[in-house]
Amino acid sequence: MNWSNVGDYLKGNTTGVTSLVGSLLTGNVLGAVSAGASMVASATGTTDPEQALLELKGTPGTMLKLEEIALQREAEVNRHIESVMKLELDDQQRSHSETQATIRNGDNAQGIVKYVRPSHATVSLIAAVYYGLFTISPDILVLSAFLTLPFTYAGLRAYDKRNVLAFNSKINLKSN
């Protein structure tokens, strides 16, 4: 048994800050798991996860003690949650930036590579229109599959340009 089992129990059977302690124990950040294990060990008096889980299940006073300790360390818990959310948002931003760079690199490509992505999107759009118009009962999933490439290609290009236009308009407003 390990501390993530204790964390699963706390997340599933408690509310408030003790549930947050459970989230710390089931996370993958070593410092957060250590902080959660430290709080549970302080409340239960043991560093063994199995004995701690038995103590938490068997003694209601232990849960109250854990809640007290967790309230004292609530700032640490909030910082952890904030850092995890920041990491997730940064990852999404990096992913989007990488996608935008790929689109821009495709626009700057030379030779046949320059025409591959737009050609795929165009052929897929033509296939979608043909399928939608000439099929007796078009399936929405098949139509969606055909439209994925053109919408993605056009959407990412438009999104990138829209952000540049918004940025330029903010600069123009500040300079006036």
pLDDT of residue 37: 82
pLDDT tens-place string over residues 31-79 = 777 888 888 888 888 888 888 888 888 887 888 888 888 887 777 767 8
Rg over CA atoms, the chain: 27
Tokens describing residue 44: 């239960």
Tokens describing residue 88: 């997730």
pLDDT tens-place string over residues 110-138 = 878 778 888 888 999 999 999 999 999 99
pLDDT tens-place string over residues 12-38 = 877 777 777 777 778 777 777 788 888
First to last CA, the chain: 65
Tokens describing residue 40: 């549970």
Domain boundaries, given as residue ranges, for the chain: 3-86, 109-175
Tokens describing residue 56: 């938490």
Q: For residues 113 and 109, what is the distance between their CA atoms, to the nearest angstrom?
A: 6
